[in-house]
Structure 1
Amino acid sequence: NDVTIDVDLTANRGDCLGLKGLAREVGVLNSLAVTEPTITAVVPTIDDALTINVEANEACPRYLGRVIKGINPSATTPLWMVEKLRRCGTRAIDPAVDVTNYVLLELGHPMHAFDLAKLDGGVNAKITVRFANKEEKLTLLDEKEVTLKEGTLVIADEKKALAMAGIFGGLESGVTTNTTDIFLESAFFAPLAILGKARQYGLHTDSSHRYERGIDPTLQFDAIERATELLLEIVGGQAGPVVEAKSDADIPQTKEVSLRREKLDGRIGHHIGDEQVSEILTRLGFTVSTTGEGVAKVWQVIVPAYRFDIKIEVDLIEEVARIFGYNNIPNIAPKAALKMCEKKEAKLSLINLKQVLVNRDYQEAITYSFVDPKVQALLHPDQAVMTLPHPISSEMSVMRLSLWTGLLQSMVYNQNRQQGRVRLFEAGLRFVPDESAENGVRQQNMLAGVISGLRVDEHWSMEKAATDFYDIKGDVEALLALTCDAQGYEFSKAEVDALHPGQTAQITKNGVLVGHVGTLHPELERKLGLNGRTLIFELLLSEVLVQKIPEASDISRFPANRRDLAIVVKEEVDAKKVLQLIEKVGGNYLIDLNLFDVYQGQGIEEGYKSLAIALVLQDTSKTLEEKDITDVIDRVVETLKTELNASLRD
């Protein structure tokens, strides 16, 4: 009919890893007084004592030991103790070990017993607490031999390591059913000295579990006296004096923490009366004094040694709230004065740009800002990079110079999983080393995209066609159209290390570089393991999120006149330049301009091309006469001839 209570503790409450601490906590929560059993010191009946030398004072500020001689090796652990240990999930072994385990569960303090006869020098042995020597070996109680790491704290005699301090005992010095004399250990090991050490050897023991979280630095005497009392009662024998080695400078000192009324109310969001706060703190075992009144009230709290988790003011606030009861704190909805956020008409939202790409069948990707230096060097061979001092791995050791690196690796990942048509985009920061920038790096928000595969998914109504430069250029133009100033952006030929010569364009606006668009260089496609043609773009968001506010104008009541010109120019002349010149000299009558055909072939001299351009002329105040139209056309033709050596096609 027993009830087993499984207690799940957070890492900061190591003080509750024993019945004593749990009883204390139950008493606090239920406002009950807790009467602790009185532990009396055992009077020594022999003078035998070992010499204790602590070389690592910071790791072991206090070490206690006691010799007990003449125990009865044939004695057995009493049934009441065996049963209590069993109910706590601990198997009975022999009286000496069972007593140390019992004290562990009762007080929450780990202990260890050594067979005195197995120590070098026996009753005259010298116990040393030190760090392990290089390549030093130890056979543990489970008969597993380990090579000790140099940062591992050990208990040793003058010849060998006897145990891993606070973790696991050694087989060679362990007690057995034949042991008659023991050396009993009770020590305080600093949490940082034990933390993570057990896992280095694939271990996790009750002892290491407690030492890693911290134990009461004043509990060592109670533990050794309680264990001695139980041992003498069960197996008999004679106890020597308790020998102590300590470093007062390294033993955790009693802490005093202040709790301000203003901070308490601010953190909890509820006022708890002064008397109730004092009562809660006192109930927790703290020594409390107060100064000030009202919002200036301050509680000066002396924290007991067993509450080593209480270090700062917010820890006290948490304790007060916990004992008061989180359910007793009323829910109060926060209040704030709402103000309409400013929305600048001339500023685009990134969401708008993303939506355009999603509507054009792209999918958003989020890649790491730290990338593989080898892949990045392929894309940007001549650019300096920002190297991470402590990278996650060698393949994520530099900050990205563009979003292309991550997107192309994502493209490879998708293609390797049989995704034939891939269209990805990403918005994020790039990191360009710049001594003139803050912290030596210029961070810029970018928008980039990558496409590969078919232009559209395979369908019976149309022939299959692979994506090309004009597909991704069209996607970029759709983004720029959101600015209501698409004509202000200029596409021109460019050379970029990562892109295909002749299939690369740079995008500028008023002489400022906005981005690049083009086909990935075939050699890079091969090195990266990409399948088929891959096209990419990248835009500087600061130059794209600025919107030109549209201006409304009346529709003219007078007819518009269209004139088509076939202009012959050299092949290397950009059509954009031709259109810009026409727009410049067209005057106020020119309301629309469109390139609708490009022709090379029969009738056109080799090295030249014919551009078919439509000009729409209109006035808002009158019907244009033929002379007005002819004047504009003549001016356009003459300017093109002078500036570009162009001519009208026959």
Structure 2
Amino acid sequence: MKFSESWLRTLVDPKLTSEELSHLLTMAGLEVEDLAPVAPAFNQVIVAQVLEVVKHPDADRLNVCQVDIGTGTPQQIVCGAPNVAAGLKVPCALPGAELPGDFRIKVAKVRGIESSGMLCSAKELGIAEEASGLLILPADAPVGQSIRQYLELDDNVFEIKLTPNRADCLSLQGIAREVGAITGALTNLPQVSEVAASITDSRPVVLDAPTACPLYYGRVVKNVDAKAPTPEWMKRRLERSGIRSISALVDITNYVMLELGQPLHAFDNTKLEGAVHARMAKPEEKLLLLNEQTIPVEADVLMIADEAKPLAMAGIMGGEESGITLETSELFLESAFFAPKAIAGRARRYGFSSDASHRFERGVDFGGTKRAIERATELILAVCGGQAGPVVEAKADLPARPPVRLRAARAEKVLGVPLGAEKIASIFSGLALSFTREGDDFLVTPPTWRFDMEIEEDLIEEIARLVGYDNIPAHAPRARMAMLRQPEAQRPAYRVRQMLADRGYQEVVNFAFVEEAWEADFAAKTAEADLIRLANPIASQMAVMRSNLFGGLIANLVTNLKRKQSRVRLFEVGRTFHRDAAAQPVAGYRQPWRLGGLAFGGALPEGWGSGGRKVDFYDVKGDIEALFAPAELRFEKLAHPALHPGRAARILLNGEDVGCLGELHPEWVQKYDLPNAPVLFELDFSTLKAAAVPAYAEVSKFPPVIRDLAVVVDQGLALQALLDGLQGQVSPLVRDIQLFDVYVGKGVPENKKSLAFRIVMQDTQRTLQDSEVDAAMQQLVSCLEQAFGAQLRA
């Protein structure tokens, strides 16, 4: 929001400098992004009138001018501007003047003719980027007056950055109201009186979509002069607010929008047929807008139309065919309130925005809608002439303004400063908030221009702004501190991350919303019911919530490979998202924390002794076992859509599924253009954080006995099944059984395999005897033969 300081000070004039006012606005929540003068410094430039112009005798492009500077004695000035002519009033820099760019004016001879000053363009005064000739002033400009005073060039332009909740400050009236409340200065808000109808012409208005447009005022104004010039004071205020002057009628609607915050629109009344309707768009309806863009409007777009055709996108932009021109003599003036939800996002959908939509989608003061049409009518009649008809009103249910309760004690507790009920009452009065009191409680009725006051905290924020954030002391926090116990069976999350980093993995952080194709590839989710789709994604390729971490890790790998990284170790800790009707705290969605990892490239960093072996399933399996150690994990065959059918395993801890591990499926290796398959894993993070409580076990002082045992079993028998079958069936002397060899081939029957185990036996009280060892080995062999049909390998 840009505005002229001089304009603001006609409405409220606190005894503050421009810089002090800027700071005060910023600290009150209206951040001043820029404060700049409208013109650079210069002096001794006055309004002058050209009396006579003759050609320079020695230069075709120069003229010798006699100029009245208000002293009674004309001055001779040589001028090369193409638009200089007798009778014009223009800026004149007198001898001794200093112009922008460190340019000093002095009496000089130009091609032999003395020149006492310089006639100036807007560019030479620093108030325009380009100029094709002299700056022509109005005919009533007083000769001899300082140009800075006449054009109000000692003015400043404020540009404030407003948060979306402060739509009431998108007008000079709103800003003046704020400045008055903050500083206590008296406000002189625009006084608007009803314009009496001098003709009976009117046009009926019908609200076909009363929820989207609950209030509409229309008025016919006839016999206007659309070619009338815009007053210089109005044009100046518009330009300093960043709005280009177009024509008097358009300028007046823009001026009222800036002054009161109510966007207006004027239609050429002769182009309208029948009643004006506020309705939703019809199927396949199109509209040629004022920006010369023809758009097909969708069903949720609010339209202004007559009985035959659409006229405008309500609250956004008017149509070209019904717009006013310099030939317009009869207009239909519109002032309406459109519900913010009916306007929000519609302009951006079609790739443009407007000052009107910017205001309507944030909320416009519906209590000032009629006031705005009266103000615009008043200005139109004053500038363009004409006769006004009666104001036609169409009204439905306007937004409710339920009172909000504020407890004075609560405000003091939140802000940490003593206030008192009287101080709060004074603040609310300064903000023009209507309230009643119940002891120290206030029932505040939000005004029609404030859409952001709904709960007690909103009112507390208003008090904080008006008290001044600078005046709220910043106390160091005080609290009773207690050392919290760290459960021995729980390790902190950073420790898990550190363990992975110690094993060569680097942490990544990816978005939780992913491409839909990833869910189809890595989670086999293709049905719409399976996907958790975002209502408003930040990008089209990030439209669904992830159900596993694999997609992001594969994308990270692809990025690294493109940057010539041949060995990649990555992990991520993050939430995944699953539909679950019974889930809490977010009803309908389960959001567990998961740890995902990926390993690709060499098993060891490249070096003279590494051998160049690629990482495989068992390398990563070792990493996972190290994370869970000393707990014992089980690995079972797994079918997973993201993983290789024969090289994937489910990870079990105490019988519970805690994750999965495997090589990437060959189909996805090919699709994502990977040189070979990475190894992926995903684990339940909460289970991973659980740590085993240390338990003392006596260390034997006696030597162990180690024996090897080779048996032949069916080739389809899983090792884990064999080890599970031995649990509790072998001698207590057996401390450990480790597989160290698997053999299939010569000497082993078809469909059989040879498994070689290393058996460790030990006792804590004595050295074992050969007979005990032999008996334990025999018991082990008998168990294998009976339970699995194993045979000792010769």
TM-score, normalization by structure 2: 0.69
> Within 1, Cα distance between the matches of 2:576 and 2:260?
57
1:6 is matched with 159
Mean Cα deviation higher: 18-27 or 49-58: 49-58
1:40–1:448: structure 2 CA closer, same or farther, 3 Å change rule?
closer
Matched, 1:305 2:464: no
1:424 is matched with 570
2:598 is matched with 450
> Within 1, Cα distance between the matches of 2:399 and 2:581?
47
1:511–1:119: structure 2 CA closer, same or farther, 3 Å change rule?
closer
> Within 2, Cα distance between the matches of 1:183 and 1:171?
15
> Within 1, Cα distance between the matches of 2:573 and 2:382?
74
| Residue of structure 2 aligned with 1:208, choices 336, 357, 362 | 357
> Within 2, Cα distance between the matches of 1:3 and 1:316?
32
1:513–1:232: structure 2 CA closer, same or farther, 3 Å change rule?
closer
What amino acid maps onto 2:472 in structure 1? I
| Residue of structure 2 aligned with 1:78, choices 227, 231, 235 | 231
Alignment of 1:255-266 (within 5 A): 255-266=402-413
Deviation at 1:375, TM superposition (A): 5.3
1:471–1:383: structure 2 CA closer, same or farther, 3 Å change rule?
farther
The structure with the greater share of residues assigned to helix is 1
Does the 8 A contact of 1:386 with 1:398 survive in 2? no
Does the 8 A contact of 2:532 with 2:579 survive in 1? no
| Residue of structure 2 aligned with 1:353, choices 496, 504, 513 | 496
1:530 is matched with 674
Does the 8 A contact of 2:202 with 2:219 survive in 1? yes
2:607 is matched with 459
Alignment of 1:110-121 (within 5 A): 110-120=263-273
Task: Determine what percentage of the aligned residue pairs are the same residue.
Answer: 40
Matched, 1:289 2:436: yes
Does the 8 A contact of 1:100 with 1:112 survive in 2? yes
2:339 is matched with 190
> Within 1, Cα distance between the matches of 2:721 and 2:297?
76
Does the 8 A contact of 2:640 with 2:648 survive in 1? yes
Alignment of 1:220-619 (within 5 A): 220-237=369-386, 239-247=387-395, 249-252=396-399, 255-292=402-439, 297-367=440-510, 386-388=530-532, 392=537, 402-404=548-550, 406-408=552-554, 410-415=556-561, 418-428=564-574, 445-481=593-629, 484-486=630-632, 489-491=633-635, 499-500=643-644, 503-523=647-667, 525-527=669-671, 529-541=673-685, 544-557=688-701, 559-570=702-713, 572=715, 584=728, 587-591=731-735, 594-595=738-739, 607-609=752-754, 611=756, 613-619=758-764
SS state at 2:403 partner: strand
Does the 8 A contact of 1:583 with 1:593 survive in 2? no
Does the 8 A contact of 2:533 with 2:544 survive in 1? no
CA-to-partner distance for each residue in 1:478-523, whole Å, 9 max, x for gaps?
2232xx233xx34456666665566455544554444444444545
Does the 8 A contact of 2:761 with 2:773 survive in 1? no
1:409–1:74: structure 2 CA closer, same or farther, 3 Å change rule?
closer
| Residue of structure 1 aligned with 2:202, choices 49, 69, 74 | 49
1:68 is matched with 221
1:199 is matched with 348
Deviation at 1:319, TM superposition (A): 1.0
Deviation at 1:26, TM superposition (A): 1.2
1:304–1:452: structure 2 CA closer, same or farther, 3 Å change rule?
closer
Deviation at 1:245, TM superposition (A): 1.6
1:588–1:306: structure 2 CA closer, same or farther, 3 Å change rule?
closer
Does the 8 A contact of 2:168 with 2:261 survive in 1? yes
> Within 2, Cα distance between the matches of 1:563 and 1:499?
39
Does the 8 A contact of 1:254 with 1:304 survive in 2? yes
Does the 8 A contact of 2:742 with 2:753 survive in 1? no
Deviation at 1:318, TM superposition (A): 1.3
Does the 8 A contact of 2:408 with 2:424 survive in 1? no
What amino acid maps onto 2:388 in structure 1? G
> Within 1, Cα distance between the matches of 2:218 and 2:682?
71
> Within 2, Cα distance between the matches of 1:196 and 1:442?
31
> Within 1, Cα distance between the matches of 2:506 and 2:363?
50
Deviation at 1:418, TM superposition (A): 4.1
1:160 is matched with 309
Deviation at 1:560, TM superposition (A): 1.0
2:6 is matched with none
> Within 1, Cα distance between the matches of 2:293 and 2:525?
55
Deviation at 1:29, TM superposition (A): 0.9
CA-to-partner distance for each residue in 1:389-437, whole Å, 9 max, x for gaps?
6575997777666544554454455445544322233444556677887
Deviation at 1:2, TM superposition (A): 1.9
> Within 2, Cα distance between the matches of 1:45 and 1:377?
70
Determine which structure has greater relative contact order: mean sequence separation of CA pairs < 8 Å that are 6+ residues apart, divided by chain length. Answer: 1
> Within 2, Cα distance between the matches of 1:219 and 1:444?
52
> Within 2, Cα distance between the matches of 1:633 and 1:448?
42
TM-score, normalization by structure 1: 0.83
Matched, 1:33 2:186: yes
What amino acid maps onto 1:352 in structure 2? R
CA-to-partner distance for each residue in 1:155-185, whole Å, 9 max, x for gaps?
4444333444333334444443344443333
Q: Specify every segment of 5 or more residues in structure 1 that has no aligned partner in the other structure, as ranges.
A: none
Mean Cα deviation higher: 195-204 or 433-442: 433-442
Deviation at 1:279, TM superposition (A): 0.6
> Within 1, Cα distance between the matches of 2:623 and 2:674?
21
Does the 8 A contact of 1:567 with 1:646 survive in 2? no
> Within 2, Cα distance between the matches of 1:304 and 1:608?
86
Q: Specify every segment of 5 or more residues in structure 2 that has no aligned partner in the other structure, as ranges.
A: 1-153
Deviation at 1:30, TM superposition (A): 0.6
> Within 2, Cα distance between the matches of 1:191 and 1:436?
35
SS state at 2:234 partner: helix
| Residue of structure 2 aligned with 1:19, choices 172, 179, 186 | 172
> Within 1, Cα distance between the matches of 2:374 and 2:289?
27
Matched, 1:105 2:258: yes
Aligned residue pair count: 634
Mean Cα deviation higher: 596-605 or 338-347: 596-605
1:112–1:567: structure 2 CA closer, same or farther, 3 Å change rule?
closer
Deviation at 1:582, TM superposition (A): 7.5
Mean Cα deviation higher: 576-585 or 531-540: 576-585
